[in-house]
Amino acid sequence: MDYIKHAVETIKKGAEEAADKAASAYRKSELRKELKEMYEALGKIRYSEIKNNNLSEEETLKLTSEIDRILREMSDIKGEVGKVCESCAEAVPSDCRYCPHCGAKLY
């Protein structure tokens, strides 16, 4: 009986781990999308600042801290991913010095 109980526990644990992994992967892809939108918004603000010679410091800082929050949450999610490229927002292994997706230098 102990053998069966053990087998059931093992299967349950495996299923839970798989579900956790799937949830993390999903959250990560959500965050990646969010990050890309933030970068885009920041780029638009910056563009209009340059174009109109009119600084909107407050909005820029708000977006920057939002981006930092997303990057932190992404690196908090445990998984196969080591870090996130700050340039293209793709996940990259932690031992990479340059992003394999866009070639940006990684810190």
- Site residues (vs Zn ion, CB under 5 A): 85, 87-88, 99, 101-102, 104
Task: Closer to Zn ion by CB, 14 or 43: give it.
Answer: 43
The set of long-range contacts for 86-91, using a CB threshold of 8 Å and a minimum separation of 24, is: 89/32, 89/35, 89/36, 89/39, 90/32, 91/28, 91/32
Which residue lies nearer to Zn ion by CB, 11 or 102? 102
CB of 100 to Zn ion, least distance (A): 8
CB under 8 Å to 31, separation ≥6 — which residues?
70, 73, 74, 77
Q: Min. distance of Cβ 5 from Zn ion in angstroms?
A: 48
Amino acid identity, position 49: E
Q: Which is nearer to Zn ion, 14 or 100 (CB)?
A: 100
Shortest Cβ 103–Zn ion spacing (Å): 7
User: Identity (one letter) of the amino acid at 65?
Assistant: S
Give the shortest CB-62-to-Zn ion separation in angstroms.
24
